[in-house]
Structure 1
Amino acid sequence: MRRVLPFLLLLAACGDPSTGPKITGAPQPGGTVVVTTKPSEVARPSLGPAPDNLHGVDWLRATLPAKFCGVEEPVQIEDGSAKATSTTWGEVEVVVNPVKAVWFGDVDADGRDEAAVNLYCENGGHTASSQLAFGLVVVRSAKGALELIGEISTTTMRDDAPHVPLLAQPKFEKGAITVRELWYRPSDVNCCPTGASLTRWWVRDGTLKADPAVQVS
């Protein structure tokens, strides 16, 4: 429970956050996250056994990737977090978001829900200022195993932002996931980002490709 208070509206934050590489100016669209709609097309390592119904998975004790944080190999989550080494930030902690751990929806139109697991990584300080990056890990159940579809990372970092952007409210539909991204203007405090953008990630030609981000506030 130690991570719930610092994350709730980021009220426990103090000082400047540690951030990753920054993009100058207004929010910019992101790149491409590879998604395979047919498991046979691309060999993907299993993340461990999984029931057909992903609503029954204990995400606080799952094996999950965290490349959005520069972690090259999947990490074993225990009690909601795991220590790992990032190629960007060095020693980090990968955390399942204690406020909202996972969203569900059917993006590959097979009649079963996929899961978007809500993760962030931090430098171990356990405050909002220690948060380094946020990401959604999209997975499915395939032949009794948990299989990675892809990762969605934030795309709207400003060079003058006081905190890294957040991800919220993914909406699943046939062939796409629309993600709401909350980003910070220079005058914003850690608790309260005032910028918001929507990015739709489409399943096209076996991949999940992002349309340009659309600023909504």
Structure 2
Amino acid sequence: MADKAGDVAGTVREQAAEVTGEATARAQDVIGELRSQLEDQARSQTQRLADNIRRLADDLHGMSRNGDSDSSAVGAVKQIADRGHQAASRLEDRGPDGLLGDLQGFGRRRPGAFLAGAALAGFATARLAKGAKAADGAEDPPAGTTDGGAGWRASQAPAPRPTPPSPPLTASSQGDMAPGPVTRSDPYPDARQS
């Protein structure tokens, strides 16, 4: 009986080792697939960023061609455009790993400027997200509201009450106009009820 229990325990150990090996291999496959997908996305985003920078640099070059060639502003625009082309080429050549390395190097060299830039980027991102959320809220009003979530609007204001007419003017003995008899009728009797 002890031999049979030992055989069962050995079989259980072997099967557990096989299951563990298969689970580990599958987990490594999934991790590898995720890593390759993330790398592909990072490369495509980096390429898109490089394309946008290059397009902006081309636009700046076009602006500088139309300006006065002796102007210092035109010279500055040309320099910015040239640096934009250099940055786009660097992004394309080095890819996302190079961009990350550049950011890490800048953070080590100038931590104060890096933190200030990160805070500014975070603030700008938050403002953009808030603006996008507000734009979405204005387009699709929440259920049960008539103003699209935009608060009180002039179209929902009560209509202004007309001004009561002035008393008629009558001529006095000296030829000037004086107000006639004043009557005290309420032109809005239902306004006091609300």
- Range class of TM-score, shorter chain: under 0.3
**Higher strand share goes to which structure?**
1
Structure with max Cα Rg: 2
Normalising by structure 2, we get a TM-score of: 0.19
